[in-house]
Amino acid sequence: MPEKLEINPWLKMWTKPKETIRAVVTFDPRYRFLTLCAIYGIPSMLQLAQSMSLGYSYSLVGILIGSLFLSIFAGMIGITISSALLYMTGKWIGGVGSYLQIRCAISWSNVTNLASILLWAALVASFKIGFFTDAFATAPLTQGQSWLFTGTFFIQAVVSVWSFVLLVQSLSEVQGFSVWKALLNIFISFGIVVVFFWMLGLLMVRG
């Protein structure tokens, strides 16, 4: 194991995911895991707060502090489950990556959430507590606010696509797969999740 990481993964990951993951895995697949869990979880917690209209029950400061506090746990759960699924299904098609290596690939592919956090910060700064209520959907917007909302939506879509590209590239590196086989690994895992929730839904309806 090298004594120190020779590259800056926070920057390098955006453009050279395979090289970055190879370096991080060689150095320490646990490198900055908790930080990455928080980065993964913050947008999810803010999205949850918005969808639940928590702005009616909590202050803006309370929502932000709560989201920050819970982000590590939410990120850890999401990354752990995703890693376990990709590890298990990857073995079915000849994957060679260890669980920790796959977890590392998933964690660092979500470094793009740094951009998502900045977008959330811009939206919260502009719309404040109203952004976390269902009234926001029908609230009148100024031209500047409308441009901000549209722009952040577009940028977030691009960031999400790029995050998926980084995941495919990183997974192919640690699993020893081609890009197409890495995609298969992901789609099999996604299929299992879909079937699970479909069966759960049937059980709830019949119950």
The predicted-structure confidence for 58-74, as pLDDT tens digits, reads as follows 999 999 999 999 999 99
Residue 153 falls within a domain, yes or no? yes
pLDDT at 139: 81
Give the number of domains in the chain.
1
| Class of residue 3 by CB neighbours under 10 A (exposed 0-12, middle 13-18, buried 19+) | exposed
Residue 3 falls within a domain, yes or no? no
pLDDT at 3: 66
- Rounded to an integer, the average pLDDT of 125-129 is 91
pTM here? 0.90
Residue 2 falls within a domain, yes or no? no
Residue 1 falls within a domain, yes or no? no
Window from 7-16, 27-36, 196-205 with minimum mean pLDDT = 196-205
Residue 57 falls within a domain, yes or no? yes
Domain that holds residue 18: 9-206
Distance CA 50, CA 138 (A): 14
Residue 27 falls within a domain, yes or no? yes
Query: Which residue do the tokens 């722009």 mark?
Result: 151
How far apart, in Å, are the Cα atoms of 60 and each of 52, 56, 113, 119? Answer: 14, 10, 21, 16
Residue 157 falls within a domain, yes or no? yes
pLDDT at 196: 84
Residue 15 falls within a domain, yes or no? yes
